[in-house]
Amino acid sequence: MALTIICILLFTTATVVAYSKLKPKQFGETLPTAPYLFPVFAHTATFAAGDEKLASALKRYAVSEAPIRFRGIGFNFVLLSGKDIIRKALSTANLDWNKISAPLFGGMFGGSEAIVHALQHDNSGIGAKPYPGSNVHPGRRLLRNQILFFSDAFSRGSLDELVPRFVKNLQDWCAESSSVVGSDWVEKPDLYEFVRDILFSCSVDSFFGKNLRQLNPNLDKDFWEYDDNISFLATPMPRWLRPNAIKARDRCHDSMKRWREHAVNESKSLSLQVPEDASWDPVWGLGAIRRRNKLFDATGGLLDKQNRASTDLALLWALTSNVIPASFWYLFEVLASDGLLDRTRMEIAHILGGLNAINEHKFSPADLTNSDLLQSIYAETLRLHVIALITRSVKKEHHIGKWLFPKDQAIIVSSHVEHMNEQWDTSDEKHPCTAFSPDRFLTHEKNESGERRTKFSLDGRQGQWIPFGLGEHMCPGRHFAKQEMIINFAVLISTFDFELLTPKNWRPEDNLSRYGFGTQQPKQKTPFRIRKRAVK
Ligand code: HEM
Ligand SMILES: *[C@@H]1O[C@H](CO)[C@@H](O)[C@H](O)[C@H]1NC(C)=O
Ligand SMILES: *[C@@H]1O[C@H](CO)[C@@H](O)[C@H](O)[C@H]1NC(C)=O
Ligand SMILES: *[C@@H]1O[C@H](CO)[C@@H](O)[C@H](O)[C@H]1NC(C)=O
Ligand SMILES: CC(=O)N[C@H]1CO[C@H](CO)[C@@H](O)[C@@H]1O
């Protein structure tokens, strides 16, 4: 749904539109506009036409190291492209994140108007001290609270709880699957669905605890139906157009409510006294999730039952919706590349002293996530399949390079535009940006004794490789997402044999209807077969 983009921008910003009539300023060049045929309509048709059209229009008109304006009926934004201008723009505190993004909290997660309003008007920044001149209720510094929560949820102590739990859930899943997957090949219709089902249960249980899924046996089904409709939910379009989308969202919302109510009940019972600073709490999952309630309690009633459930749903969505399809692509790309599966198995065996270390539960996840090859595949997978639109608005008029950016101007950076251009082509022409190349992020250096050493590196890619955004609002889940992708892959391929039942060199397309929302899902099913790996 390309309309999403227009509507997201429309949603908030009648004000932004007014600035399209901006007069040239004395200093600094005004922002150039992409060419169009008809005045007023300008780029409207392109944007309404569909996601493939939108994707190619953004790519076609993007100008390296410069801004370019797109406008039409109800929208007006500036696309930035090129690593220097992107780094410059996103690493300053001159841009707001919440003006454009706040309304999504209502549409996507069912937050009330009050919380959307509070989020949109939180001008206190993310720092410990509010910005001078901001007048936000001290308990309602929602952006600051988010930072506080995630630094707790992904602290060292918390990750030491989360990651081993994730590994254990995955291993338990593999052990339990013995009843369906034995030593003979079994054919399955879709590798994406397979990965999705494993990872939803394993990651949700290791984050929220087991109660969430146990209290809500249909959660995974409801969740994916809801997620399927996310680009509609993000728009301000009339709700009656897609009643099923709203119903799916509300079922997920209800599930979060039920889970929370149960947790509140259980916490009251004296038999369950968990220390305040514990990293894990059996009823809340991560201790950080329980501690977050204190932040909620301090909002003076803004975080009521409905908004707590919305915040929980947002957390569930952030936790699963990107990393799960990304983990599918990771496995798929390896299976589909000649010889790569063997290479990764040799690498894992080399690191851990044999593949059996994984089945025997004798390995340290950090050893895997430090592997050069496994990290390079991870970076390349995200480069190819993440399409995030990083949206900001200009807080106060300022220059970026020679251009003058007026206050309230909406700004967009598309990871797709940056990930799919010549800056990635290798000089030998063997690895164009559109192809999966597992070695793209490996550099070859000579060490002191003159021997070649291969190393994973993102050096020089800042502003170029942006699957997680950049700057103050860069994805706080990125370290966990990386671990999840690599561990999932390593556990699966050391437990099972996989074979794609697809023609050679075939790969599913990205379904671009989630353009802008992060990792794309595959458009076609990927049939495969699987069997338990013989222990060697
Ligand atoms: C492969 C997996 C993932 C991808 C590609 C991804 C991508 C992104 C992107 C592009 C943004 C916007 C950044 C910006 O505007 O500059 C973002 C924000 C965010 N992500 Fe992720 N993400 C992933 C996994 C996760 C996970 C596992 C979590 C854990 C809960 C998470 C939580 C968040 C949150 C809370 C934000 C909002 C941050 C803010 O606005 O300050 N993400 N993510
Ligand atoms: C593409 O994604 C949309 C929304 O997620 C979904 O409704 C549609 O069925 C998908 N298309 C295909 C061909 O799977
Ligand atoms: C929580 O406790 C209340 C009061 O005892 C009860 O009515 C409610 O059903 C409980 N909710 C859950 C989800 O356990
Ligand atoms: C150089 O790299 C080789 C191969 O990785 C390694 O065996 C050797 O010990 C390294 N030498 C030094 C001085 O780091
Ligand atoms: C617009 C849209 O994406 N609609 C989807 C909502 O979810 C259902 C169930 O998954 C899909 O069939 C629709 O295509």
Asked if 359 and 450 sit in the same domain, the reply is yes
Does residue 46 form part of some domain? Answer: yes
Instruction: Fill in the DSSP letter of residue 423.
Output: G
Residue 451 CA from chain centroid, whole number? 38
Per-residue model confidence (pLDDT) at position 93: 84
Ligand nearest to C-alpha 517: 1
* Residue 86 forms part of a structural domain: no
Same domain, 299 and 448: yes
Among protein residues, the one whose CA lies closest to atom 21 of ligand 1: 475
* 242 and 347 within one domain: yes
Degrees (nearest 5) of the Cα angle 263, 267, 272? 125
Compute the CA torsion angle 500, 525, 422, 4 (nearest 10 deg). Answer: -160
Q: Are residue 289 and residue 408 in the same domain, yes or no? A: yes
Tell how far the Cα of 219 is from the centroid of ligand 3, in angstroms. Answer: 20
Q: Which amino acid, one-letter code, is at 286?
A: L
**Statement to judge: residues 324 and 193 lie in one domain:** yes
375 and 268 both lie in a single domain: yes
Q: Are residues 67 and 173 in the same domain?
A: no
Distance 513 CA to ligand 2 centre (A): 7
Decide whether any atom of ligand 4 lies within 6 Å of the 447 Cβ.
Answer: yes
Domain membership flag for residue 111: no
Residue 287 and residue 167 in one domain: yes
| Predicted local confidence at residue 480, as pLDDT | 97
Ligand approaching nearest to the C-alpha of 283: 3
Residue 423 located in a structural domain: yes
For residues 153 and 10, state if they share a domain.
Answer: no
Query: Which residues approach ligand 2 with their CB closer than 6 A?
Result: 228, 511, 513-514, 523
Q: In the prediction, which pLDDT does 178 show?
A: 82
Q: From the CA of 445, how far away is ligand 4's center (Å)?
A: 11
Distance 320 CA to ligand 2 centre (A): 18
Cα separation, 120 vs 408, in Å, equals 13
Pair (390, 499) in one structural domain: yes
Length of the chain: 536
- Looking at the structure of the chain, the number of domains it has is 2
Ligand 4, atom 6: closest residue by C-alpha: 451
- Residues facing residue 519 across a β-bridge: 386
Torsion of CA 58, 63, 64, 66, to 10 degrees: -110
- Per the structure, the complete domain to which residue 39 belongs is given by 1-21+30-71
Q: Is residue 308 in a domain? A: yes
pLDDT of the residue at 514: 86
Residue from 388, 412, 375, 382 nearest 490 by CA: 375
In this structure, the answer to whether residues 67 and 182 fall within a common structural domain is: no
Q: How far is the CA of 182 from the centre of ligand 5 (A)?
A: 35
Residue nearest to atom 11 of ligand 5 (CA): 228
Q: Does 106 map to a domain?
A: no
Structural domain includes residue 311: yes
Say which residues have a Cβ less than 8 Å from residue 460's Cβ, sequence separation at least 6.
Answer: none
Regarding whether 450 and 361 lie in a shared domain, the answer is yes
Block means of pLDDT (10 residues each) for the chain, 536 residues, are 48 38 52 75 68 86 93 85 95 88 94 96 92 92 96 97 96 90 96 97 98 98 96 86 94 98 88 85 96 96 97 98 98 97 96 87 92 98 96 92 92 96 84 94 88 91 96 94 98 96 95 91 98 83
* pLDDT attached to residue 50: 61
User: Which residue has its alpha carbon closest to ligand 2 atom 14?
Assistant: 523
Find out whether the beta carbon of 232 lies less than 6 Å from any atom of ligand 5. yes
Residue 40: predicted pLDDT: 67
Classify residue 90: in a domain, yes or no.
no
C-beta 497 within 6 A of ligand 5: no
